[in-house]
Amino acid sequence: MVSHSELRNLFCSADAVCFDVDSTVIQEEGIDELAKFCGVEDAVSEMTRQAMGGAVPFKAALTQRLALIQPSREQVQRLLAEHPPHLTPGIRELVSRLQERNVQVFLISGGFRSIVEHVASKVNIPSTNVFANRLKFYFNGEYAGFDETQPTAESGGKGKVIKFLKEKFHFKKIIMVGDGATDMEACPPADAFIGFGGNVIRQQVKDNAEWYITDFVELLGALEE
């Protein structure tokens, strides 16, 4: 067990911080918003709930949900134009404070790159620091599946991304921040995990995270000390 003060010190001395996106950096679940926009909200949100609870392997859940949604390229673009995701209060300040301290900030998401890159641009994170799933489209813009080779398409994918970042950039301390079981499972290889319950509380994460916050102000405060 790591004490709370040790975790705070780890966070304040980290050279990289990775954030989950859905229900963490943004208030919504991107896939549920896309489902709502495409008119299949109820069926898909039930599947999301099962996937977040760890009942269904991630790739299977993703495949099933996308088969129901069948999002076209145009629908994804219209979703972003008409219902852009809402940033969680405090995240913009937190990212810029970390960047001022020369900490590398990454977004690692089981959601979709087209949506996550839009979010990244709002918080000044370069798209090279985004790891997410890629939707595929046919020439006419119709849904053609997703790129199954992305690490984030698999259960355990966030941990694979963190391992890759450690090997590539030789980070000494990477912190993972997120709301779900897939985020908690990324530690290790992450050096610490901070559970976030500001948008939705997942009981399993709340019960097991050694540091659990419901407001990014708490992390900003830790950096100020």
Report the alpha-carbon distance of residue 29 to residue 75 in Å, rounded. Answer: 16
Q: Known catalytic residues?
A: 20, 22
* b (16+ CB within 10 A) / e for 47-71: bbeebbeeebebbebbebbbeebeb
List all residues 6 or more positions away from 72 whose beta carbon is below 8 Å from its beta carbon.
Answer: 137, 141, 142, 143
Determine which helix (DSSP H) or strand (DSSP E) holds 32, and give its type and residue range.
helix 30-37
**Intra-chain end-to-end CA distance of the chain, in Å:** 23
14 and 175 Cβ atoms separated by less than 8 Å: yes
Strands 192-196 and 104-112: unpaired
Residue 204: CB atoms within 10 Å = 14
If one counts every other C-beta atom within 10 angstroms of the C-beta of residue 182, the result is 24
